Amino acid sequence: MGERITTVVHNGLTFDIRDDGPIDGERVVLLHGFPQDSRSWDGVAAWLHEAGYRTFAPDQRGYSPGARPARRRDYRIPLLVGDAVAIIEQVGDGSPVHLVGHDWGAIVAWGVAAQHPDLVRSLTAVSVPHPAAFLRAFATSTQLFKSWYMLAFQMPWVPELLLSNESVGRFVLSRSGQPDAAVTRDAARLADRSAVRGGVNWYRAMPWSDPKATLESVTVPTLMVWSDGDVAVGPAGVEATPRYVSGPYRSATLAGVSHWIPDEVPDELARLVVEHASAHS
The mean pLDDT value for 66-84 works out to 96
138 phi/psi in degrees, rounded to 5: -60, -35
Bridge-based pairing of strands 13-20 and 7-10 is antiparallel
Q: What is the DSSP letter of 26?
A: P
Angle (CA) 139-141-143 rounded to 5° is: 90
| In contact, 124 and 276? CB cutoff 8 Å | yes
Domains belonging to the chain, first-starting first, are: 7-149+210-279 (3.40.50.1820)
Spatial distance between the Cα atoms of 76 and 124, rounded to a whole number of angstroms? 22
Q: What is the pLDDT of residue 212?
A: 67
The mean pLDDT value for 191-214 works out to 88
Spatial distance between the Cα atoms of 168 and 237, rounded to a whole number of angstroms? 30
Spatial distance between the Cα atoms of 62 and 240, rounded to a whole number of angstroms? 30
Residues of the chain by 3-state class (helix, strand, coil), percent to 5: 50, 20, 30
pLDDT in tens, 91-150: 998 899 999 999 999 999 999 999 999 999 999 999 999 999 999 998 899 998 899 888
pTM exceeding 0.95? yes
Q: Does the pLDDT value for residue 77 go beyond 70?
A: yes
Q: What is the pLDDT of residue 2?
A: 72
Q: What is the pLDDT of residue 93?
A: 87
Q: 211 falls in which pLDDT band (50, 70, 90)?
A: low
Q: Does the pLDDT value for residue 213 go beyond 70?
A: no
Cα dihedral 18, 73, 200, 244 in deg (nearest 10): -70
Cα 112 from chain centroid (whole Å): 12
12: left (phi over 0), alpha (psi -120 to 50) or beta: left
Cα 63 from chain centroid (whole Å): 12
Q: 83 falls in which pLDDT band (50, 70, 90)?
A: very high
Q: Does the pLDDT value for residue 1 go beyond 80?
A: no
Q: 90 falls in which pLDDT band (50, 70, 90)?
A: very high
The mean pLDDT value for 235-260 works out to 97
Closest-CA residue to 72 (of 176, 208, 184, 225): 208
Strand spans (E) along the chain: 7-10, 13-20, 27-31, 54-58, 97-102, 120-126, 222-229, 249-258
Q: What is the pLDDT of residue 143?
A: 93
pLDDT in tens, 6-45: 999 999 999 999 999 999 999 999 999 999 999 999 999 9
Q: What is the pLDDT of residue 210?
A: 73
Q: What is the pLDDT of residue 148?
A: 87
Q: What is the pLDDT of residue 94?
A: 87
Spatial distance between the Cα atoms of 149 and 168, rounded to a whole number of angstroms? 15
